[in-house]
């Protein structure tokens, strides 16, 4: 009898263990069937939501693409709340040839006056090309950079422009002819003013319109492109035609119409190249179209050329350009602080102070003294007793250097009278 009861207890324990195991298996199935789908579903939703948000972020902050072959290590951050110099390029490519920067504009924007000042650089004029210590036509410099490596077109062009013009280029925006054609196609006919009648036989040989009469012209997309491509009359006549089109698009047509012409960007994504970030191209145009306080001016640069008997060509005269810049450019951020600036060369590098004097003067700085100094500075510094009085000027000076430059308030070993003292060292030898 005892043995029976014992067996019965064992059986009970076995049955209880079986029931517990059965309950565990049911719980596991419940987790697999009910809970795991919820977890996976929630995870999938989380991933989807993140991807969707990322898509929205990319879409809302759309940036023009890089040019084919370009490697941009650093984006240029610009905003309409800060002054900047922008390189605006019109790219063209003959069949089987290198891409050429056929139209090269500098856009100088002053945030204080909200003034856009635009000028086109003469592209078939010789500019000093320091790597070879020679002169090269501007129209060929982009291609010269590409011959070194595919990604060097813009960097080579930017370096040549900065060295010749002594102004800092904060970013570039380029558009090829296909992109331009797709933007303006949705605008209908564009009315332009032609300063003089001309006949371009090269265009006619290409099978497009090449004859344009003087006066007001209403041009369709194909004729408008031929109008800006025509070489007849030389650079200045071509520059006048470019200006007429820009004025029409920004004035009569209004920038808001350009926004609709750009559409969803898909049609021109492969034809707009830029290193800009901050305010996107679309936001940039929309802001210009909605705010009527922005001003636009266009300048011809015939006064900055000189004739070289050695080259038997016109070359870009740096001194004449400096006179043009100092008498023309708005530089409200720097001018309104009225800082008096001294520049000292602490190195044995000849002409270093003169180079930076030119750069700072072209951004509106008032240079009251330039000299060599006996001290041997290991690093370039900016010395000022009152940095809070000149924050915008100090920032612009810092941005002009290729390396980070510290601002210090310590006194110097020699007598100065300026508000801001710039001590140059060998870390800024390259400009």
DSSP sequence for 192-246: EEESS-EE-HHHHHTTS--EE-SEEEEE-HHHHHHHHH--TTHHHHHHHHHHHHH
Q: What is the pTM of this model?
A: 0.75
| φ, ψ for residue 104, nearest 5 deg | -125, 115
Handedness of CA 285, 286, 287, 291 (dihedral sign): positive
Tokens 């290729």 correspond to 402
Distance from C-alpha of 259 to C-alpha of 283, rounded to nearest angstrom: 9
Q: What is the pLDDT of residues 161-183, one digit of tens each?
A: 999 999 999 888 888 888 888 77
pLDDT greater than 70 at residue 353? yes
Q: Are 356 and 400 in contact (CB under 8 A)?
A: yes
Residue 189: predicted pLDDT: 87
Beta-sheet pairing, 295-299 with 276-278: unpaired
Residue 31: predicted pLDDT: 55
pLDDT greater than 90 at residue 313? no
Beta-sheet pairing, 272-274 with 171-176: antiparallel
User: Both ends of the chain: CA-CA distance in Å?
Assistant: 107
pLDDT greater than 90 at residue 431? no
Bridge partners of 116? 109, 296
pLDDT greater than 70 at residue 429? yes
Q: Are 85 and 168 in contact (CB under 8 A)?
A: yes
pLDDT greater than 60 at residue 67? no
Comparing 222 with 146, the larger pLDDT belongs to 222
Average pLDDT over residues 37-56: 51
Q: What is the separation of C-alpha 94 from the centre of its chain, rounded to a whole number of angstroms? A: 25
Q: What is the pLDDT of residues 13-26, one digit of tens each?
A: 544 555 555 555 65
Q: Are 81 and 111 in contact (CB under 8 A)?
A: yes
Bridge partners of 170? none
Distance from C-alpha of 92 to C-alpha of 104, rounded to nearest angstrom: 11
Distances from the Cα of 312 to the Cα of 121, 128, 137, angstroms: 19, 15, 13
Ranking 25-39, 100-114, 287-301, 398-412 by mean pLDDT, the lowest is: 25-39
Question: What SS3 state is found at 318?
Answer: helix
């Amino acid at each position: 009898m005892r043995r029976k009861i014992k067996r019965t207890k064992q059986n009970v324990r076995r049955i209880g263990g079986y029931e517990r195991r059965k309950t565990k298996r049911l719980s596991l199935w419940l987790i697999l069937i009910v809970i795991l789908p919820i977890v996976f579903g929630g995870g999938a939703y989380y991933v989807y939501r993140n991807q969707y948000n990322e898509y929205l972020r990319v879409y809302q902050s759309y940036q023009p693409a890089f040019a084919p072959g370009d490697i941009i290590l650093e984006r240029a951050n610009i905003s309409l709340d800060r002054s900047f110099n922008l390189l605006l390029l019109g790219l063209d490519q003959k069949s089987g040839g290198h891409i050429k920067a056929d139209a090269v504009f500098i856009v100088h924007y002053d945030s204080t006056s909200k003034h856009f000042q635009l000028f086109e650089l003469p592209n078939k004029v010789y500019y000093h090309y320091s790597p070879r210590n020679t002169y090269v036509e501007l129209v060929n410099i982009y291609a010269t950079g590409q011959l070194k490596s595919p990604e060097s077109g813009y960097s080579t062009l930017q370096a040549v422009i900065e060295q010749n013009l002594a102004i800092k280029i904060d970013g570039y925006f380029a558009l090829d002819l296909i992109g331009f054609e797709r933007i303006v196609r949705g605008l209908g006919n564009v009315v332009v003013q032609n300063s003089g009648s001309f006949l371009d036989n090269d265009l006619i040989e290409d099978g497009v319109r090449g004859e344009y009469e003087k006066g007001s012209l209403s041009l369709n997309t194909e004729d408008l492109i031929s109008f800006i491509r025509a070489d007849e009359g030389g650079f200045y006549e071509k520059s006048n035609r470019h200006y007429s089109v820009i004025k029409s698009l920004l004035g009569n047509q209004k920038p808001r119409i350009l926004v609709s012409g750009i559409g969803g960007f898909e049609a021109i994504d492969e034809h707009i190249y830029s290193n800009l970030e901050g305010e996107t191209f679309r936001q940039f145009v929309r802001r210009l179209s909605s705010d009527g306080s922005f001003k636009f001016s266009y300048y011809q640069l015939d006064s900055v050329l000189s004739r070289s008997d050695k080259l038997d060509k016109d070359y870009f005269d740096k001194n004449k350009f400096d006179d043009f810049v100092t008498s023309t450019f708005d530089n409200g951020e720097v001018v309104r602080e009225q800082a008096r600036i001294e520049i000292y060369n602490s190195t044995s590098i000849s002409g270093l102070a003169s180079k930076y004097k030119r750069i700072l003067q072209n951004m509106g700085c008032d240079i009251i003294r330039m000299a060599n100094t006996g001290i041997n500075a290991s690093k370039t510094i900016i010395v000022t007793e009152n940095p809070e009085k000149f924050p915008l000027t100090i920032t612009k000076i810092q941005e002009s250097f290729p390396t980070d430059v510290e601002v210090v308030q310590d006194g110097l070993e020699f007598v100065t009278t300026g508000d801001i003292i710039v001590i140059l060292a060998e870390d800024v030898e390259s400009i």
